[in-house]
Amino acid sequence: MTAVEFIFKKFNDKIDYIPINKWDEIREIIQQALELEKQQIIDAANYGKLYQIDAEKYYDRTYKKDNI
């Protein structure tokens, strides 16, 4: 299970009511997030092969500065 899938599952389990007119918008956002996550995984694998860097160093260089 990816992080995006985990969040969607938890969101889906915890929210009792979402107006039907919002589901298409939510589904589109989730699809965009899954595509972004897929690309991030591909980029990490390629970067690691190219620069011989371990995953944690790649993560720190790429995402640590963003602190969500």
Q: Is the pLDDT of residue 66 over 60?
A: no
| Long-range contacts of 31-35, Cβ-Cβ distance < 8 Å, separation of 24 or more | 33/4, 34/2, 34/4, 34/5
Domain ranges of the chain: 3-66
Q: What is the pLDDT of residue 26?
A: 85
CA 38 to CA 23: how far, in whole Å? Answer: 22
Average pLDDT of the segment spanning 36-62: 84
> Rounded to an integer, what distance in angstroms lies between the CA atom of residue 56 and that of residue 68?
17
C-alpha distance across the termini of the chain, in Å? 21
pLDDT > 70? residue 32: yes
